[in-house]
Chain A
Amino acid sequence: MTLVALRGVGKTFSNGTEALRGVDLALGAGEFVSLLGPSGCGKSTALRLIAGLAEPSAGRVEWARRERLGFVFQEPTLMPWRTVLGNVRLPLQVAGIGKSEAAARAEAALAQVGLAGFEASYPRQLSGGMKMRVAIARALVTGPNLLLLDEPFAALDEITRLRLNEDLLGLWASSGLTVAFVTHSVYESVFLSTRILVMAPRPGRIVADIALPEAGPRDEAYRTSAPYNEACRTVSAALKAAMS
């Protein structure tokens, strides 16, 4: 079942930059779809269009029904004056949910991302990886069925990134979420996704739609397995073709 689809979507900014042209994509329920491409190929713009943070200049965004969205930005984007719990509670507060219920749900979301015990900390006291976990908890707290992530781990070190990759996969597998994930890393996209949309710049467009076969559990061993290497090679070739 298709959750949301972009139909012939184009986006031109007021300064004349054409970020997207003729983009067709559909996100099916339960999929983990990566948008992969170099900087400037419009992958973040596509995600913002899905989220409703920007309006398409051409084409349309179609929803099967109203879905609850969670969005994770490139930066953790936390309020420095709020505690970890206060940050995660914010979307519930805005929705007018009572304080005690909001706190309970925020605590549950923090536990989900492995941050139980840090409720009273302030963002500046946390490491980059932990801040990103708070941002993910905040995106999960409203119980979304579609989670949009815009290069969330790009600024993190390799070790933290691999760890967060695995935890994100765990969340996805256990929750039945649909995930759209923007990245410029071939390896990250292959490790995480069920499907990869390869994008090319100037103007931004989708040039390849690669479904990854189910390859058993995705864990540390998967990173060195033959199917993983094979998929990396396919995706890299598609990306290279897109760039030339």
Chain B
Amino acid sequence: MSRAARFLLPTLVGLLFLLGWEILVRANDIPPYLLPGPMAIARAMVEDWPNLWASLLVTLGVTFAALAAAVIGGGGLALIFAQSRWIEASLFPYAIILQVTPIIAIAPLILIYVRDGFLALLICAWIVAFFPVLSNTTLGLRAADHGLLDLMRLAGARRWQILWYLRLPAAMPYFLAGVRIAGGLSLIGAVVAEFTAGTATAGSGLAYRILESGYRLDIPKMYAALALLSVAGIAIYAALALVSWLVLRRWHESEVRQEL
């Protein structure tokens, strides 16, 4: 399948879907407070743009801070785990507990204990996002080829040299896959935390706008905020996929195009 078709086909499906939606809404005279058509949503987006844009920036602020913390925290913790199986065995179960406990259940507690609103949201989003980075990087650091480990030992390599020349590059594809997952999870974590916080924090992210619009029965604005969240998620994923491609394109199978 050509590149153009890969792009055009889903675009065409999307446009047909929106067209059908608009026709359905108009033909049945469905009021906008039940189901707004795409045109009404677009109008809401334009009219409320300053307000929505400001909220988007707030949500993205939490998302990127959480992603950065997940990359540093997850990657750093994985490096510590790689130094000693004892440390890993002692701490890894707690990382799993943190991961499997639903964030929506922990968030209210965090919001009580952490007075700073931004920090509270950041912690919630980080808890959701850091695990894939941690587990993937831990796996990657251990996945170095045994022959190459023998080679480093024969060359008289020190511990840090084995880490620097062998383990870190070998872990890179795993790490980047973890970061890609963490990107989407950061956004989800930020939104979930905002929902839980509601008006409790000074912040006014997109989740807060959705709640607020819901109370006011401003359904078109709810859809507009939702659309912005989706676009933000797609953009984050695309950006991280690009980073992965830039780093791995010369050598890793996942990013190298096979010539047939």
Which residues of A come within 8 Å of B, CB atoms? 51-53, 69, 71, 73, 75, 77, 79-81, 90-91, 93-95, 122-124, 138, 142
Q: Are the CB atoms of A77 and B172 closer together than 8 Å?
A: no
Q: Are the CB atoms of A94 and B150 closer together than 8 Å?
A: no
With beta carbons under 8 angstroms apart, the residue of B154, B157, B252 that contacts A80 is B252
Which residues of B come within 8 Å of A, CB atoms? 145, 147-148, 150-157, 161, 165-166, 169, 172, 250-253, 256
| Residue contacts A-B, CB under 8 angstroms, 30 given | A52-B154, A53-B154, A69-B154, A71-B150, A71-B151, A71-B154, A73-B147, A73-B150, A75-B147, A77-B147, A77-B148, A77-B150, A79-B148, A79-B166, A80-B251, A81-B172, A81-B250, A81-B252, A91-B151, A91-B154, A91-B155, A94-B152, A94-B155, A94-B156, A94-B157, A94-B161, A122-B251, A124-B251, A124-B253, A142-B155
Q: Are the CB atoms of B165 and A94 closer together than 8 Å?
A: yes
Q: In the docked arrangement, what's the CA distance between A81 and B251, Å?
A: 5
* CB-based nearest B residue for A72: B151
* Chain A residues with CB below 8 A from B250, complex form: 81, 122
The interface residues of chain B, by DSSP majority, are classed as helix
Q: In the docked arrangement, what's the CA distance between A52 and B151, Å?
A: 11
* Chain A residues with CB below 8 A from B156, complex form: 94-95
Tell me the smallest distance from the CB of B250 to a CB of chain A, in Å.
6
Q: Are the CB atoms of B155 and A81 closer together than 8 Å?
A: no
* Chain B residues with CB below 8 A from A75, complex form: 147
Excluding A91-B154, A138-B151, 8 further A-B contacts by CB distance (< 8 Å) are A52-B154, A73-B147, A75-B147, A77-B151, A80-B251, A80-B252, A95-B155, A122-B250
Q: Are the CB atoms of A79 and B169 closer together than 8 Å?
A: yes
Tell me the smallest distance from the CB of B256 to a CB of chain A, in Å.
7
* CB-based nearest B residue for A148: B154
* Chain A residues with CB below 8 A from B251, complex form: 80-81, 122-124
* Chain A residues with CB below 8 A from B169, complex form: 79, 81
Tell me the smallest distance from the CB of A229 to a CB of chain B, in Å.
36
* CB-based nearest A residue for B173: A81
Tell me the smallest distance from the CB of A199 to a CB of chain B, in Å.
21
Given contacts A90-B165, A91-B155, contact A124 B145 (CB under 8 A): no
Q: In the docked arrangement, what's the CA distance between A134 and B177, Å?
A: 30
Tell me the smallest distance from the CB of B71 to a CB of chain A, in Å.
20
Given contacts A77-B145, A79-B169, contact A90 B154 (CB under 8 A): no
* Chain A residues with CB below 8 A from B148, complex form: 77, 79
Please list the 8 inter-chain residue pairs (A to B) with the smallest Cβ-Cβ separation, ordered nearest first.
A77-B147, A91-B155, A94-B155, A80-B251, A81-B251, A94-B157, A81-B169, A73-B147
